[in-house]
Structure 1
C-alpha cells in the first residue's frame, strides 16, 4: 500500500487546482492508499530563503511537519498552475525552505557531486496552464516542467516523475473540466 502526499501549490482556494487535488485524493482513497493532502496556502511559513544555504533559518512547525510527511510518502503529487512558464512563488518558496541540504540532498566535501537523500520515492506533477501545451513545449521548452522534474526532484533522488498537463484552462468549459477531474481521479486510483 502506498503512502501518497499531495501538495497543492495554488494560492487560490477557489482554483481548479484545488478541485484537481481533491479528485486525486478521492481516487487514491478508493484504492486504499494512505493519503495526505496539503494546501500550501494553509501553512504558516516564510517562503523566503533569507540567507541561501550560508545560514539555514529555523523551520516553522508546519515545515517540520511537511518534511516528516515527505519522508513518510512513497509517492509525491504536486498540483500547481504554470505562471510565467514556471511555478507560483508560493510553491517555489516552499521548495526553497523545505528541500534543504541534509534533508533532500547532501553536498560531498571537496567534490562536485552530492548525495540524493530522497531516493526510492516517485512523483507526479499535475500542472494547469492557459498556454497551449504545444506552445509551451515549442517556445518555452517546457521550462517549468524541467525545473521541477530535473532541477528539484531528480536532483534529490526522486524518480520516476510523470507529468500531466491540463491546458488551456481559461477557455475550458465545465464539461472539459469534469473530464479532466475524472482523469485525475483515475490517476489517484492507479496511484500514478
Structure 2
C-alpha cells in the first residue's frame, strides 16, 4: 500500500553521507510507488534558537512552515542525521524546537499529566550515521540520542512505531562499505 513519506535529511552541510542515504531512500520508496517529499536541512535558513521558550511565539520562517505542512501531510517520517557528540546536530535540534510546537505537535489538556499527541497515526524511521561502532553505542553508551529522539520527541508527539537504523562506524570506512550502506538505505525505502 502506497504511503506519503517525508524524508528529512538532517545533516547541516551539503554533500554528506547522510545526503546520499536520504537520496537512496527516496529512490527506493519512489520505485515502490510511495509519494515522497525530500527536505534538506542544509538548504534551510532559519533561526534555530527558541529564545525564551514557547511564549511569545516566534513567527515561523517559510522553510519551517514547509516542514510543518509536510509533517501534516505525511504518514511516515524518515529522519537521516549524523550522530555528533552522541546527539543530533544542533541545527536539526533547532528545527525540532521551532517546528514541533504546542498546538501543532502536542497539546496540554487541563487535568491531564500527559499531553495530547497531535501527530498520531504516523510512523517514523531514523537513519543515523556514526563513528561509534553500533555495539559500543548500544551496550556501553545505551544510545542516549536514540532514546531522546524516540521517547522525548517522536513518541511524545504521537509517532509510532519508531525504528532506528545505524550506519557505522563511518570513520575508516571505505567506498565499498559506504556503497553498501547506500544500497541498504534504498532497500529500506522500498519496504517502507
- TM-score by length of structure 2 reads 0.97
Aligned equivalents of 2:10, 2:182: Cα separation in 1: 17
User: What's the offset of the Cα at 1:138?
Assistant: 2.3
User: What's the offset of the Cα at 1:136?
Assistant: 1.0
User: What's the offset of the Cα at 1:111?
Assistant: 3.1
Aligned equivalents of 1:145, 1:15: Cα separation in 2: 21
Aligned equivalents of 1:21, 1:60: Cα separation in 2: 23
Aligned equivalents of 1:76, 1:110: Cα separation in 2: 31
User: What's the offset of the Cα at 1:109?
Assistant: 2.1
Corresponding position of 2:143: 142
User: What's the offset of the Cα at 1:123?
Assistant: 0.5
Corresponding position of 1:154: 155
- TM-score by length of structure 1 reads 0.97
Corresponding position of 1:25: 26
Query: Number of residue pairs matched?
Result: 191
User: What's the offset of the Cα at 1:54?
Assistant: 2.7
Aligned equivalents of 1:110, 1:161: Cα separation in 2: 28
Q: RMSD of aligned C-alpha atoms?
A: 0.9
Q: Deviations over 1:58-94 (max 9, x none)?
A: 1111111110110100000000000011100011000
Deviates more, 1:136-145 or 1:146-155: 136-145
Corresponding position of 2:36: 35
Secondary structure at the residue paired with 1:51? coil
| Runs of at least 5 residues in structure 2 that lack an aligned partner in the other structure | none
Aligned equivalents of 2:185, 2:52: Cα separation in 1: 38
User: What's the offset of the Cα at 1:34?
Assistant: 0.6
Corresponding position of 1:117: 118
Q: Say whether the 8 Å CA contact 1:51–1:57 is kept in structure 2.
A: no
Aligned equivalents of 1:188, 1:157: Cα separation in 2: 22
Secondary structure at the residue paired with 1:127? strand
Aligned equivalents of 1:15, 1:76: Cα separation in 2: 20
Deviates more, 1:94-103 or 1:8-17: 8-17
Off by >6 Å, runs of 4+ in structure 1: none
